[in-house]
Amino acid sequence: MSDLRAQAEDWLAQDPDPDTRAELRAILDAGDERALAARFGSRLEFGTAGLRGELGAGPNRMNRVTVMRAAAGLAARLPRGGRVIIGFDARHGSRRFADDTAAVLGGAGLRPEVFAEPVPTPVLARFVRAHADVVAGVMVTASHNPPRDNGYKVYWADGSQIVPPLDAEISAAIDAVGRVDELPLAGSWTVHRDTGDYVDAVSSLRLGDPGDLSIVYTPMHGVGRDVLLEVFERAGFPAPAVVPEQADPDPDFPTVAFPNPEEPGALDRALAFAGALPGGRRADLVIANDPDADRCAVAVPADGGWRVLTGDELGGLLAEHVLRHTSGDDRLVATTIVSSSLLRSIAAKHGVRFAETLTGFKWIMKAGGPPMGSGESSRHGRPARLVFGYEEAIGYSVGDDRGVPVNDKDGIGAALAAAALAAAARRDGRTLLDLLDDQAREHGLHATSQLSIRVQDLSLITSALGRLRAEPPARLGGRAVERFDDLSQGVDGLPPTDGVRFRLAGNARVVVRPSGTEPKLKCYLEVVHPVDDDIAKVRARAAADLDALRADLSAALR
């Protein structure tokens, strides 16, 4: 423990933040060894998702020292004189972290620019891609994490998140950084005030005509509202009604227990508002973004209440919509190994290319390059044109015949596409639920679900995966395991990743992996049923199958 105290004293001596200095001094004075070990016993790892963690003092927390070290490591990997754009959301500390990043990058001989106000993550990603002289971008955000967290995402010159080995190179450069109070710092930098690159690109998506839908929208106390309303107006769509209590950015997210539209209860206020609009009307569509607006959730009226579409359901519907509004056999659609296999079938129907990637949008955005995994990202020597990519965790990149406008997931572009899709369905006398049934009849019902196990001790995730690798179950959910893949060894031409996959008899699949952003073990379940009977009965059978898989997997992971 004396070594941890020495590390803490060294940290105190260089920390420029009076709040974290006071926190750490109180821990030292109280002799709180557990709190000290939690902050100095390990450190936040800089990986392909950058940094993300709880705010506080020490290398295992997000704070100004951690951010300045990350900026110095990034600067070491960038060409001197390069232009770097920095965005930030409305979370606690985000603006300060953005300014610290600019000071360090400027002191290292780069040309930093910081957005004047909080912006959605896809705005930052689009700016990097749209300007040829921008060598990198930084987004200070923890996306949908709890209020106590913050994070740090790095984008390379193509506007997509970094992938190996670049993340390891930056991490090594961070490790080589000395004391932050000895870093040269710039006293000023350019302030950027224009979101026009993004608004122009997304509002001009050619995905159908606006309708007369009544739409309710929640930014979930995040930064998406103003940009989304501008995009809808520029695209000619009616302005959504914004949930009043969740309209303004608030880093404490006071009306939701967890600011993630996927979480149970997160949409309750939006659904209540949508069910009681002025004049006794009810909305036709509910759209939610997460706090940095890179994810999108959709709910529709159903049986007197509301049905929230899963990420896979909306992904399949948006894919068909995009492919109906685009042309060319060079089109590519891409998804991840944990998302529904439905997209492969949709791609085959439309005669377009398909790619399956590792989890995360950083990989989806690379799918248009050299062939990877089990996809067909290029053939006959012709480059693929990515028009749609999605992951089951409500992340979508929606494009048109010009390709995708943002090289990352984009919750505002997805919201616009969902509105266009719903308007087109209504003109045909259909609903999104009708379209889901149509897809199931044509491609089979691809039913998906998840099992998430949140832990306090990350070693529990490692040990659970170790048990599955050492003794894979022979049956899950009453189905024989026909194939077991240890994803850490690399399968189907994909790079190695931590996780395992089970292929089951009767066209079912299970993937187990650690979350990349939260202390969770995540299990992804899929069963596929042909629809040769009443579709409600098929859905009930599929739900029972998923329940059986979930029960067996829970037992196997104990």
Answer whether 120's CB lies under 8 Å from 224's CB: yes
Domains for the chain: give ranges and CATH numbers: 2-193 (3.40.120.10), 195-443 (3.40.120.10), 444-556 (3.30.310.50)
pLDDT at 193: 92
- Listed as ranges, residues in the chain with pLDDT below 70 are 1, 369-382
The CA-to-CA distance between both ends of the chain, in Å, stands at 32
Tokens 């009306």 identify what position?
Answer: 255
Q: Looking at the DSSP assignment, which residues form a beta bridge with residue 298?
A: 287
Answer whether 136's CB lies under 8 Å from 166's CB: no
pLDDT tens, position by position, 183-232: 999 999 999 999 999 999 999 999 998 888 999 999 999 999 999 999 99
Q: Is 122 exposed, middle or buried (0-12, 13-18, 19+ CB in 10 A)?
A: buried
Q: Cα 281 from chain centroid?
A: 33
pLDDT at 310: 97
Tell me the backbone φ, ψ of residue 471, rounded to 5 degrees. -140, 75
Looking at residue 281, what DSSP letter applies?
B
pLDDT at 467: 92
pTM for this structure? Answer: 0.95
pLDDT at 457: 80
Which pairing describes strands 395-398 and 385-391: parallel, antiparallel, or unpaired? antiparallel
Q: Cα 552 from chain centroid?
A: 28
CB atoms within 10 A of CB 516: 17
Peptide bond into 251 cis (omega under 30): no
pLDDT at 381: 55
- Distance between CA 401 and CA 352 in Å, rounded? 13
Any idea which residues carry the catalytic annotation? 143
In DSSP notation, 255-278 reads T-SS--TTSTTTTHHHHHHHTSBG
pLDDT at 460: 84
pLDDT at 377: 47
pLDDT at 458: 79
Q: Which segments of 131-254 does DSSP mark as H helices, in order?
A: 166-175, 196-203, 225-235
Answer whether 50's CB lies under 8 Å from 171's CB: no
